[in-house]
Structure 1
Amino acid sequence: MDFSGLKKPYHAALEGDWKGMESFYSKHPERLLDPLTIDKDTAFHIAAYSAETKLLGHFLDLLKEPSQILAALSNKNSHGNNTFHEVTTTDNVKAIKLLISKLEWACAQDKVHGTNFITELKKLLEDQNQLGETPLYRAVALGQFQVLKFCAKRVGNLSYHFHRYDKMSILHIAAIGQHFETAAWLLEKDKGLGKEKGNSGMTCLHLLAKMPSAFESSSRMGKMKTLLYYCMLSMLCV
């Protein structure tokens, strides 16, 4: 990796100096696709996981070729994450809409390769990182429910996103993170998830039973967990 000449934007990113990053790349747009960290994060990865929509939009506007836009959205860091993987870990639906609109523009402009927008978007949202997680799986793991629902409308069949390489189901990861509203939504989409066993041999119902403290809570989370528990119990008894 060639980090030469990237000290300024690197330190700006560390300090959250988004104006500094914007200034550097406005002068050197040719460096936008270059890795900026040892994890091979580009400026797009950083802007995405920092939920900096304005900065992300500015970077995308600096790219004039459709192929550059496609590369900015699909390039992976050392963890196998593309830009969508990073933005779905935030609650920034606006940023996802921005990425999708730029992708649509790039596909419409790409007359040479005839790139299809729907196909490319599906490919990016179904892309798996080194753990086998898609951007939607990551959204569930981090409890970004609104982001999940927004992206789900654009992928059609959700089953592709249900498991990572170690077979951990998307419902299990939601329960482990205590994202119970998300778990209930997933169960509504596919009741079969409730019957699956994880590597420990436990169903999601077993996992919930091992979290007694959440049942004692009068908070919305406690109520959601109770609702999810009895919903799963009724399904398993059918």
Structure 2
Amino acid sequence: MGSPVILEKPYGAAMSGDWESMIEQFEYFFSPVSHSLDTVLHLAVHSNKKKPLKDLLEIVKEKESPLTEEDFLKIKNKFGNTVLHEATIYGNYEAVRLLVERCPDLLKEKNNYGETPLFTAAGFGEAEIVEFLIRSKPKQCVDDKNRLLSIHSKRSEDGLSIHRATLW
């Protein structure tokens, strides 16, 4: 099985930060554009800025889209990461805020390793993002006794131990 093809125009525009030209690349918004099967949204959060992601989401709203915004945001890359997973990994706090506001259900999505975005934020030491996620959507993160919900833990590959996002 060969490597996925990189779609040069949208990938190049995203990598150079030329978000304006992405308007011309709308037909590629919903397709993987990199070897990691990232969409343009995944690449936008790598910029560590809010504006590219916000602008791309506005373009989707303005144009006739084959997917709902929620379905678009739930597209996963090769590692099973949604755009919210990627935003937590890259420490893009503003993108995390925007994504959780637009689609709180992204907090429940697990990647190929069984990790939720809260788990990846904790795993990458993004304490500010962990705190924001818990404070903004407590019912999706902790139970009535303020214990982390089991969805934010994962079993080890041998199935014998459980790893939880460490909050503090």
| Higher Rg | 1
Moved more, 137-146 or 29-38: 29-38
Deviation of the 1:51 alpha carbon: 1.6
Q: Residue 149 of structure 1 aligns with which residue?
A: 131
Following TM superposition, by how much is the alpha carbon of 1:17 offset from its aligned partner in structure 2, in angstroms?
Answer: 1.0
| Paired position in structure 2 for 1:127 | 109
| Deviation sequence 1:215-238 (CA, Å, 0-9, x none) | xxxxxxxxxxxxxxxxxxxxxxxx
Aligned to 1:216: none
**1:131, 1:165 within 8 Å by CA — same for their partners in 2?**
no
1:136 counterpart residue number? 118
Give the Å deviation of 1:165. Answer: 3.2
Alpha-carbon distance between aligned partners in 2 of 1:169 and 1:48, rounded to the nearest angstrom: 26
Over 3 Å counting, the alpha-carbon distance change for 1:60 and 1:143 in structure 2 is same
Flag structure 2 segments of 5+ consecutive residues without an equivalent. Answer: 143-147
Match for 2:25: what amino acid?
Answer: H
Matches within 5 A, 1:191-202: none
Aligned residue number for residue 222 of structure 1? none
Q: Could you say which structure has the greater relative contact order, defined with CA pairs below 8 angstroms and 6 or more residues apart?
A: 2
- Structure 1 residues 81 and 56: CA distance shift in structure 2, 3 A: same
Whole-angstrom CA distance in 1 between matches of 2:117 and 2:149: 13
Matched, 1:18 2:22: no
Structure number with higher helix proportion:
1
* 1:89 counterpart = 2:89: yes
Q: Determine helix, strand or coil for the equivalent of 2:99.
A: helix
Paired with 1:162 and 1:74, the residues of 2 have a C-alpha distance of 17
**Correspondences of 1:1-238 after superposition (within 5 Å):** 3=5, 6-13=7-14, 16-19=15-18, 22-64=19-61, 65=65, 67-103=67-103, 121=104, 123-153=105-135, 154=137, 155-157=140-142, 158-166=148-156, 167-170=161-164, 182=167, 185=168
Find the aligned partners of 2:124 and 2:22 in 1 and give their Cα distance. Answer: 30
Q: Distance in 1 between matches of 2:20 and 2:45?
A: 18
Contact between 1:3 and 1:36, CA under 8 Å: does it hold in 2? yes
Measure, in 2, the Cα distance between the counterparts of 1:156 and 1:45.
23
Specify the SS of the correspondent of 2:52.
helix
Tell me the CA shift for residue 33 of structure 1.
Answer: 1.1
Shift of 1:66: 9.4
Percent identical residues: 28
Give the letter aligned to residue 44 of structure 2. Answer: A
Q: Which residue of 2 aligns with 1:220?
A: none
Please list every run of 5 or more consecutive structure 1 residues that lacks an aligned counterpart in the other structure.
104-120, 175-181, 186-238
RMSD across aligned positions (CA): 2.4
8 Å contact 2:88–2:126 — kept in the other structure? yes
Secondary structure class of the residue paired with 2:80: coil
Cα separation, 1, equivalents of 2:96 and 2:111: 18
